[in-house]
């Protein structure tokens, strides 16, 4: 499994995490204050389409330094989205 992150360029708390497995992708994202994506079992092609759509909306691929600076993790993103 590999984890890939996108973040919105608007300095908000909008993040997207792609958990990439050999045969599918699980996606968790906060797109806005009340908008989220939580999809398990996306095909690789579906995940690529979503990735490209977010990049076209000025999201960027996060570096490890940026992820560390925000102390972001899959668990933290779940907390942001669901208040867990």
**For range 36-61, the mean pLDDT:** 97
Widest pairwise Cα distance in the chain: 33
pLDDT of residue 59: 96
Instruction: Compute the distance between CA of residue 34 and CA of residue 81 in angstroms, rounded to an integer.
Output: 8
Q: Is the pLDDT of residue 84 over 80?
A: no
Q: Is the pLDDT of residue 14 over 80?
A: yes
pLDDT of residue 82: 92
What residue numbers bound the domain in which 32 lies? 2-82
In 4-84, alpha helices (H) = 44-56, 64-69, 74-82
Between 13 and 48, name the one with better pLDDT: 48
What is the count of structural domains for the chain? Answer: 1
**For range 42-58, the mean pLDDT:** 97
**For range 38-48, the mean pLDDT:** 97
């Amino acid at each position: 499994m590999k984890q890939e992150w996108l973040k919105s360029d608007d300095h908000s708390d909008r993040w997207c995490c792609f958990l990439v497995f050999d045969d599918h992708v699980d996606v968790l994202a906060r797109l806005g204050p009340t908008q989220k994506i939580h999809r398990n079992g996306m095909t690789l092609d579906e995940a690529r389409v979503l990735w490209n759509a977010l990049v076209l909306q000025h999201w960027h691929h996060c570096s490890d330094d940026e992820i560390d600076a925000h102390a972001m993790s899959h668990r933290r993103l779940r907390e942001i989205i669901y208040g867990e």
